[in-house]
């Protein structure tokens, strides 16, 4: 330790567990390193290695420890290892004690000072950085270059304290970034060629609370849509309790806002929703979700927790019924996992593991069928797709529809362009098609009959 890393051919490696907020945090660190001349590499070749951890479920936490152990064995002897993210918030000290090769641990609030952390680590210090507040949430942190899409934080933290969720304890109190800084960050991104912005927050719908009296998330969407160079605007995550009619109308009205919402329902049972402290009923959720679908013709994805403490067969059937009623285009479903600090973790009446597994399988089987049917209905339709991968002759391009479906297609187009693609085939989790050429014909004449 203490040995200086050579300034030539500097390499970094980063592993990200968890959500899009973590992905964005990893990007901030990767971009800071690239600005200093580092380039990405395999772990065994890296001079700096980072692991960005997720605390949402116990399994992710367990995977983290075995992953760090493996990196300690694989990495170059003098390489520096930094562990960051949500787990560090409550296990930072333990990680430093357990893994002698870890050089620094930092929580999510310390990412803003990553350059200082880097300096300290390269100077041979072994440190724990776990501040309780962010110094400057408005600070514009670096982005990786040459991207079509970019994540932009609009809020940090969460005030909701759902009874199963560790996030308010790891990411702290909700705080909104001032709109001027968000706009400035987006302007910088457009100058770098970004075409799609995804606004990030644990609950984007509460943007502006505690900061503005007369400015909210809908206002922010309208302001961002004024950027000529931005072609698409997405956002995650929406909380059903704050998902409003004015937002549904804005999604319909603003062409650039993608017609997709991720609206985690968690359970279809009112009794369980109350125990989860979600602050909405199944009836309210259904009303909002169906109104969104009807108004925007958009897609809905969700998160589901199976086997929350005391969940009965009846409660679970209510969740199945919710799936049948809303017909989510996709869902992320998880077995309940008790987490430290959370209210639900102390409940004694746990659902047995086998029951959780059976219910999860049943839910996922039906979801898979519904996703497949939703994809099948798209065959023969023409979609606007934002190209996310550069054209290579003969090779498939990739992009997404406004409804957030992945489309792989043949044709020639530049990254960042919106092209028309006719869907020929539905896959389990994506669509396959051909690009319409500049004369309005399809590259593959087999689908000519679809043009009426
Ligand atoms: N157990 C299982 N799933 C959880 N999630 C959050 N906390 C838990 C937990 N303790 C899920 C929720 C949330 C998603 C990000 O992770 O569905 O929306
Ligand atoms: Fe967790 Fe609930 Fe906050 Fe989402 S809204 S991060 S589930 S506490």
Asked if the structure places residue 277 within a domain, the reply is no
Kindly tell me if the per-residue pLDDT of 2 is higher than 70. Answer: no
Q: Is 334 in the pocket of ligand 1 (CB under 6 A)?
A: yes
Residues 268-294 as b/e (b if ≥16 CB within 10 A, e otherwise) read bbbbbbebbebebebeebbebbeebbe
* Same domain for 79 and 124: yes
Residues 58 and 103 in one domain: yes
For 106-117, the pLDDT digits (tens) are 999 999 999 999
Q: Is residue 313 part of a domain?
A: yes
Q: Select from 94, 129, 164 the last residue of a domain.
A: 129
pLDDT at 394: 59
Q: Decide if 265 is inside a domain.
A: no
State whether 303 and 394 are in the same domain: no
Mutate to test the pocket of ligand 1, among 55, 56, 171, 263 (most ligand atoms within 8 A of CB): 56
Please name the residues in contact with 1: beta carbons below 8 A apart, sequence gap of 6 or more: 103, 124, 126
**What is the distance in A from the centroid of ligand 1 to the CA of 173?**
18
The pLDDT, as a whole number, for residue 450 is 34
- Enclosing domain of residue 368: 288-377
Nearest ligand to the CA of 333 is 1
Domain of 421, CATH number, reads 2.40.50.140
| 162 CA → ligand 2 middle, Å | 6
Specify whether the CB–CB gap between 304 and 319 falls below 8 A.
yes
Based on the domain organization, do 23 and 119 belong to the same domain?
Answer: yes
- Which atom, in ligand 2's list, is nearest to the CA of 171? 6
Confidence at 192, pLDDT banded by 50, 70, 90: very high
Task: Establish how many alpha carbons lie within 13 A of residue 442's alpha carbon, considering only the half-sphere containing its beta carbon.
Answer: 20
Please state the domain count of the chain: 4
Which CATH number does the domain housing residue 173 bear?
3.30.750.210
Any idea how long the chain is?
452
Work out the angle at residue 79's Cα, subtended by the Cα atoms of residues 78 and 84, and round it to the nearest 5 degrees.
140
Residue 117 lies in a domain: yes
The verdict on 210 and 104 lying in the same domain is no
For ligand 1, is residue 339 a contact (CB within 6 Å)?
yes
Asked whether residue 47 falls in the same domain as residue 95, the answer is yes
Q: Is residue 308 part of a domain?
A: yes
The set of long-range contacts for 337-340, using a CB threshold of 8 Å and a minimum separation of 24, is 337/56, 337/57, 337/58, 337/59, 338/58, 339/55, 339/56, 339/57, 339/58, 339/164, 339/165, 339/166, 340/90, 340/166, 340/169
Residue 56, pLDDT above cutoff 80: yes
184 lies in a domain? yes
In 127-212, alpha helices (H): 167-170, 179-191
Q: Are residues 370 and 420 in the same domain?
A: no
Q: What's residue 391's pLDDT?
A: 56
Q: Last residue of a domain, which of 332, 352, 377?
A: 377
Assess whether 121 and 16 both reside in one domain: yes
**The pLDDT of residue 244 is above 60:** yes
pLDDT at 143 (0 to 100): 98
Residue nearest to atom 7 of ligand 1 (CA): 165
158 pocket-lining for ligand 2 (C-beta < 6 Å): yes
pTM equals: 0.93
Q: Whose alpha carbon is nearest atom 1 of ligand 2?
A: 165
CA 166 to ligand 2 center in whole angstroms: 8
| Strand ordering across the sheet containing 39-40 | 39-40, 11-16, 48-53, 80-85, 102-106, 127-129
- Claim to verify: residue 175 and residue 157 sit in the same structural domain: yes
Pocket test for ligand 1, best of 22, 57, 261 (most atoms within 8 A of CB): 57
Taking the C-alpha atoms of residue 375 and residue 438, their distance in angstroms, rounded to an integer, is: 26
Please tell me the distance between residue 314's alpha carbon and the centre of ligand 2 in angstroms: 25
Q: Ligand 1 pocket, 57 CB below 6 A?
A: yes
Torsion of CA 120, 123, 126, 130, to 10 degrees: 0
Q: Is 276 in the pocket of ligand 1 (CB under 6 A)?
A: no
Same domain, 225 and 334: no
Mutate to test the pocket of ligand 1, among 168, 305, 344 (most ligand atoms within 8 A of CB): 305
Ligand nearest to the CA of 161: 2
Same domain for 204 and 169, yes or no, is yes
pLDDT value, residue 396: 87
The residue among 122, 100, 90, 113 whose CA lies nearest residue 7 is 122
Domain assignment of residue 267, yes or no: no
User: Of 377, 392, 424, which marks where a domain is finished?
Assistant: 377
pLDDT tens, position by position, 130-150 = 998 899 999 999 999 999 999
Residue 390 has pLDDT above 60, yes or no: yes
Expressed in angstroms and rounded, the spacing between residue 333 Cα and the centre of ligand 1 is 9
CB 65 within 8 A of CB 53: no
The CATH number for 310's domain is 3.30.750.200
pLDDT in tens, 305-358: 999 999 999 999 999 999 999 999 999 999 999 999 999 999 989 999 999 999
Residue 273 lies in a domain: no
**CATH number for the domain that contains residue 87:** 3.40.50.12160
Burial of 358 (C-beta count, 10 Å sphere; 0-12/13-18/19+): middle
Question: For all residues of the chain together, what is the average pLDDT?
Answer: 93
CB atoms within 10 A of CB 35: 12
What's the whole-number mean pLDDT along residues 371-384?
96
**Which residue has the least CA distance to atom 9 on ligand 1?**
337
User: Token pair 């300290």 is at which residue?
Assistant: 120
Residues 28 and 42 both lie in one domain: yes
Check pocket membership of 202 for ligand 2, CB cut-off 6 A: yes
């Amino acid at each position: 330790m203490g040995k200086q890393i050579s300034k030539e051919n500097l390499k970094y490696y980063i592993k990200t567990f968890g959500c899009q907020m973590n992905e964005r945090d990893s990007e901030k660190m990767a971009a800071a390193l690239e600005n200093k001349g580092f380039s990405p590499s395999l772990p065994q070749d890296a001079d700096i290695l980072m692991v960005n951890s997720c605390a949402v479920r116990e399994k992710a936490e367990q995977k983290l420890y075995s992953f760090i152990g493996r990196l300690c064995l694989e990495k170059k002897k003098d390489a520096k290892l930094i562990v960051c993210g949500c787990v560090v918030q409550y296990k930072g000290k333990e990680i430093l004690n357990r893994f002698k090769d870890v050089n620094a641990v930092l929580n999510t609030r310390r990412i803003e000072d990553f350059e200082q952390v880097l300096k300290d680590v390269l100077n041979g210090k072994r440190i724990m950085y776990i501040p309780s507040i962010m110094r400057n949430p408005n600070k514009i942190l670096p982005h990786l270059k040459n991207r079509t899409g970019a994540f932009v934080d609009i809020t940090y933290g969460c005030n909701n304290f759902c009874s199963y969720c560790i996030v308010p304890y790891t990411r702290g109190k909700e705080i909104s970034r001032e709109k001027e800084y968000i706009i400035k960050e987006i302007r910088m991104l457009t100058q770098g060629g970004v075409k799609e912005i995804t606004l990030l927050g644990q609950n984007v719908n509460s943007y502006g609370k505690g900061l503005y009296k007369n400015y909210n998330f809908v206002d922010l969407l309208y302001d961002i849509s004024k950027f000529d160079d931005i072609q698409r605007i997405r956002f995650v995550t929406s909380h059903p309790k704050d998902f409003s009619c004015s937002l549904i109308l804005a999604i319909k009205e603003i062409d650039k806002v993608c017609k997709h919402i991720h609206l985690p329902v968690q359970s279809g049972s009112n009794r369980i929703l109350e125990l989860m402290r979600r602050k909405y009923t199944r009836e309210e959720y259904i009303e909002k979700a169906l109104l969104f679908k009807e108004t925007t013709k958009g897609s809905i994805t969700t998160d589901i927790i199976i086997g929350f403490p005391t969940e009965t067969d009846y409660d679970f059937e209510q969740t199945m019924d919710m799936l049948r009623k809303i017909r989510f285009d996709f869902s992320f479903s998880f077995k309940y996992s008790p987490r430290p600090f959370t209210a639900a973790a102390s409940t004694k009446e746990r659902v047995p593991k086998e029951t959780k597994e059976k219910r999860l399988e049943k839910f996922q089987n039906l979801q898979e069928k519904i996703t497949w049917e939703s994809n099948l209905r798209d065959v023969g339709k023409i979609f606007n797709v934002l190209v996310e991968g550069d054209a290579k002759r003969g090779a498939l391009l990739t992009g997404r529809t406004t409804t957030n479906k992945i489309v792989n297609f043949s044709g020639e187009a530049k990254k960042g362009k919106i092209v028309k693609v006719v869907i020929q085939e539905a896959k389990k989790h994506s669509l396959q098609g051909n690009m319409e050429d500049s004369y309005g014909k399809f590259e593959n004449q087999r689908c000519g009959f679809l043009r009426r």
